[in-house]
């Protein structure tokens, strides 16, 4: 798509439309600051229209009715197929818009979005309630019912994946949706809207409203006709979402920030653990909520591990997102790189030991992009800012421990609880430590594996509720109890 500026519309009530205000916004490529696309800059009026369309689709059609679950599954599967059919083009759009490498978007993002639609296509027909144990002359049913209009607001770092994580389970459960992508990376959600339209989803079942969080996001979070809000973003905005959603007591799920610990014991397969540690922090240039941004190394292997880690980090090719050899692309905006660099400056000024990186790459071909070298600092204390705050960039803090107890204490010494990992060959220690890490997702001898079948979501200030898996489907339903008298006996009453 070199040089071409795409013109997108929003998707409301089965039509591709402009914002009511007529305003448009730009998507700027992080590799060169060129305009990639323009799209409508929506506001409250557009949210009102989208929610009204979603409500009408929910109330006036049999979309959510159980007899339609096979049809809903068929449509979700078809969306998955079309995502795969268009993989090359979508992977390129996603790479250019976010700064991810084409290798990542081709091998992971688009496939995972398709997998997610296919996974929930299968679950659409499996959303069963229960018959509860009651006396023989009665029946008691626990029915799972859809909620209605489900709003979703997403962060900019995995745009297509987040759209699929939020839209697929909502539809599988029979709801209708209004999705708001991040204004920095709206292109792939608008591409997905075209696919939803092309497969023949009824008008209003999926709506995509683009625009700023303070207008579109806020209006969606406040809207009295939105029954549920699923939010992925920062802990700070998550708090605001919760307040806005309080008006009509919306059901909310919050997928927020993290500062995840990655613990390596001396008996781990060190080469594999180094690969895991590099992936944990440098995948997607560290712009990952689940980034393993705190590496906890046992003192016995600290020196050897750090040596391998730094040697391999220095070899990571930082380059243009569309270069198949690039392993780390640019950060999302110049302002975000500046923010990440402010942590680097702080660390240098406060005596942390810089092991590698810390600057923009010297290559003149990368001068216009928001690139940053893979950066590793050694710290003596977990209490420092670098080990406590989410940086959301390619900056790793390495810490040393000697006892298992100490590793667990350091791992949990954070306001966050999104993810974590433990590397060891000792199965008892692996499970012992995994159970004690206070986080929603823990890997053993693995890092970063996120899959439609695995529940994703945090503890503590990383939020609550789950994306993905059968657990997320529960977030998109409510349980109704129906008691049926089968006896025909006289009603047992306290009143004459
Ligand atoms: P952000 O909180 O700034 O924005 C997230 C979304 O909220 C965007 O769509 C934005 O437009 C919208 N928004 C902003 N202000 C709003 C308001 N007042 N009302 C309603 N909506 C509003 O986050 P970001 O910078 O896009 O993403 C980075 C953050 O997201 C990091 O903290 C990261 O850890 C987190 N994140 C979490 C997960 C997870 O699954 N837990 C995944 C990815 C990113």
What per-residue confidence (pLDDT) applies to 2?
A: 58
Quote the ligand 1 centre to 272 CA distance (angstroms): 32
pLDDT range class, residue 133, cuts 50, 70, 90: confident
What per-residue confidence (pLDDT) applies to 49?
A: 99
Going by the DSSP 8-state scheme, the letter that residue 328 receives in this structure is: B
What per-residue confidence (pLDDT) applies to 65?
A: 77
Nearest by Cα to 258 from 341, 155, 404, 376: 155
Would residue 255 show up in a list of annotated catalytic residues for this protein? Answer: yes
Indicate which residue's Cα is closest to atom 8 of ligand 1: 182
Token pair in block for residue 186: 């709206």
pLDDT range class, residue 1, cuts 50, 70, 90: low
Q: Where are the alpha helices (DSSP H) in 266-362?
A: 270-282, 299-314, 334-349
What per-residue confidence (pLDDT) applies to 492?
A: 87
Pocket around ligand 1: residues whose beta carbon is below 6 Å from it?
A: 153-157, 180, 182-183, 213-214, 217-218, 221, 232-234, 237, 240-241, 255-258, 289, 390, 392, 418, 458, 462-463
Lowest mean pLDDT among 22-36, 66-80, 222-236, 349-363: 66-80
What per-residue confidence (pLDDT) applies to 134?
A: 86
Ligand 1 atom closest to residue 456's alpha carbon, by position in its atom list: 40
CB 233 within 8 A of CB 155: yes
Would residue 78 show up in a list of annotated catalytic residues for this protein? Answer: no
Instruction: Report CA-CA distances (Å) from 422 to 260, 263, 316, 428.
Output: 11, 5, 24, 12
Indicate which residue's Cα is closest to atom 10 of ligand 1: 213
| Calpha distance 174→67 (Å, rounded) | 10
pLDDT range class, residue 470, cuts 50, 70, 90: very high
| Calpha distance 295→374 (Å, rounded) | 14
What are the two backbone dihedrals, phi and then psi, of residue 476, each rounded to the nearest 5 degrees?
A: -105, 15
What is the pLDDT averaged over residues 81-107?
Answer: 98
What is the pLDDT averaged over residues 340-363?
Answer: 98
Whether residue 128 is predicted with pLDDT greater than 80 in this model: the reply is yes
Whether residue 281 is predicted with pLDDT greater than 80 in this model: the reply is yes
Output 364-369 pairs: Cβ under 8 A, ≥24 positions apart: 365/320, 366/318, 366/319, 366/320, 366/330, 368/31, 368/32, 368/33, 369/30, 369/31, 369/32, 369/33, 369/99, 369/320, 369/329, 369/330
Query: Tokens 């999705």 correspond to what residue?
Result: 179
Lowest mean pLDDT among 17-26, 56-65, 447-456: 56-65
- From 165, 183, 214, 237, give the residue whose CB has the most ligand 1 atoms within 8 Å, as the site to mutate: 237
Going by the DSSP 8-state scheme, the letter that residue 7 receives in this structure is: E
Quote the ligand 1 centre to 238 CA distance (angstroms): 7
What are the two backbone dihedrals, phi and then psi, of residue 419, each rounded to the nearest 5 degrees?
A: -150, 180
Q: pLDDT: is 478 or 65 the higher one?
A: 478
pLDDT in tens, 142-194: 999 999 999 999 999 999 999 999 999 999 999 999 999 999 999 999 999 99
Classify strands 228-232 and 294-298 as parallel, antiparallel or unpaired: unpaired
- From 25, 27, 155, give the residue whose CB has the most ligand 1 atoms within 8 Å, as the site to mutate: 155
Tell me the β-bridge partners of 141: 131, 482
| Calpha distance 363→356 (Å, rounded) | 17
Whether residue 3 is predicted with pLDDT greater than 90 in this model: the reply is no
| Calpha distance 214→206 (Å, rounded) | 22
What is the pLDDT averaged over residues 95-107?
Answer: 98
Whether residue 66 is predicted with pLDDT greater than 70 in this model: the reply is no
What are the two backbone dihedrals, phi and then psi, of residue 426, each rounded to the nearest 5 degrees?
A: -85, 110
What per-residue confidence (pLDDT) applies to 61?
A: 84
Lowest mean pLDDT among 64-68, 246-250, 301-305, 333-337: 64-68
Ligand 1 atom closest to residue 212's alpha carbon, by position in its atom list: 11
- Catalytic residue (one of 150, 196, 288, 289): 289
Ligand 1 atom closest to residue 156's alpha carbon, by position in its atom list: 26
Whether residue 67 is predicted with pLDDT greater than 90 in this model: the reply is no
Nearest by Cα to 167 from 132, 127, 196: 196
Ligand 1 atom closest to residue 221's alpha carbon, by position in its atom list: 20
Quote the ligand 1 centre to 178 CA distance (angstroms): 16
Instruction: Report the share of the chain in percent with pLDDT over 90.
Output: 96
Quote the ligand 1 centre to 234 CA distance (angstroms): 4
Output 127-135 pairs: Cβ under 8 A, ≥24 positions apart: 127/69, 127/172, 127/173, 127/174, 127/473, 127/477, 129/479, 134/483
| Calpha distance 176→164 (Å, rounded) | 14
pLDDT in tens, 180-222: 999 999 999 999 999 999 999 999 999 999 999 999 999 999 9
Quote the ligand 1 centre to 229 CA distance (angstroms): 13
- From 151, 233, 237, give the residue whose CB has the most ligand 1 atoms within 8 Å, as the site to mutate: 233
Quote the ligand 1 centre to 53 CA distance (angstroms): 25
Q: Which domains, from first to last, does the chain contain?
A: 6-256+462-481 (3.40.605.10), 261-444 (3.40.309.10)
Indicate which residue's Cα is closest to atom 22 of ligand 1: 213
Ligand 1 atom closest to residue 220's alpha carbon, by position in its atom list: 20
Ligand 1 atom closest to residue 463's alpha carbon, by position in its atom list: 41
Quote the ligand 1 centre to 390 CA distance (angstroms): 13
Token pair in block for residue 180: 């708001």
Indicate which residue's Cα is closest to atom 14 of ligand 1: 213
Whether residue 375 is predicted with pLDDT greater than 60 in this model: the reply is yes
- From 43, 190, 213, give the residue whose CB has the most ligand 1 atoms within 8 Å, as the site to mutate: 213
Classify strands 261-264 and 294-298 as parallel, antiparallel or unpaired: parallel
Ligand 1 atom closest to residue 336's alpha carbon, by position in its atom list: 25
CB 473 within 8 A of CB 228: no
Quote the ligand 1 centre to 157 CA distance (angstroms): 9
Quote the ligand 1 centre to 266 CA distance (angstroms): 37
| Calpha distance 152→58 (Å, rounded) | 16
Average pLDDT, the chain: 97
- Catalytic residue (one of 92, 94, 191, 255): 255
Indicate which residue's Cα is closest to atom 42 of ligand 1: 289
């Amino acid at each position: 798509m070199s040089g071409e500026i795409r013109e997108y519309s929003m998707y409301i009530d089965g039509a591709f439309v402009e914002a009511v205000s007529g305003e448009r916004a730009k998507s700027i490529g992080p590799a060169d600051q060129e305009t990639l696309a323009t799209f409508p800059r929506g506001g409250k009026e557009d949210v009102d229209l989208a929610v009204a369309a979603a409500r009408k689709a929910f109330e006036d059609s049999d979309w959510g009715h159980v007899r339609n679950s096979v049809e809903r599954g068929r449509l979700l599967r078809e969306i998955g197929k079309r995502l795969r059919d268009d993989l090359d083009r979508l992977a390129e759009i996603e790479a250019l818009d976010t700064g991810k490498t084409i290798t990542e978007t081709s091998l992971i993002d688009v496939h995972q979005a398709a997998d997610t639609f296919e996974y929930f296509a299968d679950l659409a027909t499996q959303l069963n309630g229960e018959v509860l144990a009651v006396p023989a002359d009665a029946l008691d049913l626990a029915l799972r019912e859809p909620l209605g209009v489900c709003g979703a607001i997403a962060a900019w770092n995995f745009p297509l994946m987040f759209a699929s994580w939020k839209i697929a389970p909502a539809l599988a459960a029979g709801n209708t949706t209004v999705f708001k992508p991040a204004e920095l990376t709206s292109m792939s959600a608008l591409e997905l809207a075209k696919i939803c339209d092309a497969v023949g989803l009824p008008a209003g079942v999926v709506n995509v409203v683009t625009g700023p969080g303070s207008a579109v996001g806020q209006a969606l979070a406040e809207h009295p006709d939105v029954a549920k809000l699923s939010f992925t973003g920062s802990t700070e905005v998550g708090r605001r979402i919760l307040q806005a959603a309080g008006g009509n007591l919306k059901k909310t799920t919050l997928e927020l920030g993290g500062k995840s610990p990655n613990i390596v014991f001396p008996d781990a397969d060190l080469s594999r653990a180094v690969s895991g540690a590099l992936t944990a922090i440098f995948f997607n240039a560290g712009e990952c909520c689940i980034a393993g941004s705190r590496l906890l190394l046992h003192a016995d292997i600290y020196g050897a591990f750090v040596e391998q880690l730094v040697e391999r980090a220095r070899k990571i090719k930082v380059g243009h997102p569309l270069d198949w050899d690039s392993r780390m692309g640019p950060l999302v905006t110049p302002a975000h790189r500046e923010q990440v660099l402010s942590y680097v400056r702080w660390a240098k000024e406060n005596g942390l030991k810089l092991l590698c990186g810390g600057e923009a790459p010297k290559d003149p071909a990368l001068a216009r992009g928001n690139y940053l070298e893979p950066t590793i600092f050694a710290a003596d204390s977990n209490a420092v800012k670098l080990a406590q705050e989410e940086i959301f960039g390619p900056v790793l803090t390495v810490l040393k421990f000697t006892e298992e107890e100490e590793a667990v204490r350091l791992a949990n010494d954070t306001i966050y609880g999104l993810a974590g990992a433990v590397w060891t060959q000792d199965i008892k220690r692996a499970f012992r430590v995994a159970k004690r890490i206070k986080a929603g997702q823990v890997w053993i001898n693995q890092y970063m594996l996120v899959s439609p079948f695995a529940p994703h979501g945090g503890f503590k200030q990383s939020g609550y509720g789950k994306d993905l898996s059968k657990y997320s489907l529960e977030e998109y339903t409510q349980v109704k109890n129906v008691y049926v008298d089968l006896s025909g006996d006289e009603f047992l009453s306290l009143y004459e």
